[in-house]
Amino acid sequence: MIAVSPVILCGGSGTRLWPLSRAGFPKQFLCLTGNESLFQQAAHRLAGLAGDGLAVAAPFIVSNEEHRFLAMEQLREAGIEPGTALLEPIGRNTAPALTLAALAARENGDDPVLVVTPADQTVADTAAFTTAMRQAVRIAAEGAIVILGITPDRPETGYGYIKTQASGDATKADMPVERFVEKPDAPTAQAYLAEGGYYWNAGMFVLKASVWLAALERFRPDIVQATRIAWQQRSTDQKFVRPGRAQFEAIPSESIDYAVMEHCPGSDFSIRMVALDAGWNDLGAWEAVWNTLPKDEAGNAHLGDVITTGSRNTLVQATSRLVALVGVNDLVVIETPDAVLVADRARSQDVKAIVNALGSNDREEHVLHRKVHRPWGWYDSIDEGGRFKVKRIQVKPKASLSLQKHHHRAEHWIVVKGTAEITRGKEVLLLTENQSTYIPLGEVHRLTNPGEIPLEIIEVQSGGYLGEDDIVRLEDNYGRSQ
């Protein structure tokens, strides 16, 4: 049996898919195609590699502090046992992320084949993916570095390319890699397609943990040495492993491709490519999402409460209200409770400029949705004015918010569903539907759901400052520091 450890890279903010994808809830956790998030789809595909001589372990999840509970909750919903969650204190690109996974995999002297994939891609043909990836694992088990190459169907300028030494025959399952090519201009991409032997680089790699560490030691010893130091300073909390923050911040930021892969052709590291023809898409912009969705006879892909007349080739997603289109073509319209995007479908890559502008103006719409997910549940900011804010809050069964206080606001809580156990100073109250309580400014308090069904309350805040950073946490069940 070949031991396989999947590695799911959960970084990235998916800025080109704003306003659905935001830093606090990025695209890998969204359901853009089908009924599962892209992250859940990736986890299922990797779990499906088991069998045919492969023993597949629970996946390593490389994420950050903010998304750790979101990732674990989505794995639970998908029925997948999570492996170790490696939490990066700061983004340092994919090479240090993979190095953390390799060091964790080697911790007990094991040396599994690592199957490395981003969390934000979609694959239409799971069976073809499984066949190609199992072939890649067998090659990697012999000591080679294997990269998955996507059979191109158009002269794409948004991807890097892999040039193989074989012909462009997509049925070949083991081709030597000649070189890597940067994103080309349109004429060059057309020439690659005509010549054959060029494949899109999808960022999926298969190799033994020891091979990755050896290759990184050869080509970027500064990265591997700095990551080892951060790993030595790690702390562990159940399935969460945190490398030393100060040491991790000192690691050079670099991608897997630039750090290792591009140096391998011509070296003594064998680098091979397995062709993947499985309906792959990285959903890098709304145009790509439109390409993957089912459409009506006019080429429209509509999700939610949408009515159109005389419109063609549009993508519309309505999440909270009716969206109507009249006589427009080739548009993207994405509606959320607090932001609406209208864009030329051909220029959907430029959405990133809007996100940059929001950040430059210190606006929160690029970071958080109106509805914000937390490890205990979620809250939805449904109204606010000069000195008040109204939230709808849902708390999962048996979950609890932190024991906390506020310097600038008081709160009034009204239970609308379930049972609430409320700590208010030295009191402990048990409230049910239609009952309420008041939390004075500065009072220590906590909200807990002791029941078996979700608890919902309406919270009315009042005060001179109502920002989310006015929380002094005294105790917390989720390891969130003040």
Cβ neighbours of residue 347 closer than 8 Å, sequence gap 6 or more: none
**Bond from prior residue into 152 cis (ω within 30 degrees of 0):** no
- This prediction has a pTM of 0.88
Distances from the Cα of 231 to the Cα of 101, 116, 223, 225, 254, angstroms: 10, 19, 12, 10, 17
Round to whole Å and give the CA distance between 321 and 444: 38
Q: Which CATH class is domain 2-281?
A: alpha beta
- Which residues are bridge partners to 216 per DSSP? none
Q: Are 234 and 87 in contact (CB under 8 A)?
A: no
Tell the residue number behind the tokens 């700095």, with chain if given: 226
The tens place of each residue's pLDDT in the chain, 482 residues long, gives: 999 999 999 987 788 999 999 988 999 999 988 789 999 999 999 999 999 999 999 999 999 988 988 899 899 899 998 889 999 999 999 999 999 999 999 998 999 999 999 999 999 999 999 999 999 999 999 999 999 999 998 888 889 999 998 654 444 678 899 999 989 988 999 988 888 889 999 999 999 999 999 999 999 999 999 999 999 999 998 889 999 999 999 999 999 999 999 999 989 999 999 999 999 998 989 999 999 999 999 999 999 999 999 999 999 999 999 999 999 999 999 999 999 999 999 999 999 999 999 999 989 898 889 998 888 999 999 999 989 999 999 999 999 999 999 999 999 999 999 999 999 999 999 999 999 999 999 999 999 999 999 999 999 999 999 988 899 999 988 877 65
Amino acid at 20: L
The dihedral formed by the CA atoms of 343, 349, 350 and 351, expressed in degrees to the nearest 10: 60
Domain ranges of the chain: 2-281, 289-359, 371-475
Tokens 């990551």, residue located: 227
- CB 398: neighbour CB atoms within 10 A? 11
Is domain 371-475 annotated with CATH 3.40.50.2000? no
Helices (H), 79-178: 94-105, 126-141
Residue type, position 283, single letter: L
Measured CA to CA, the distance from residue 335 to residue 322 in angstroms comes to: 9
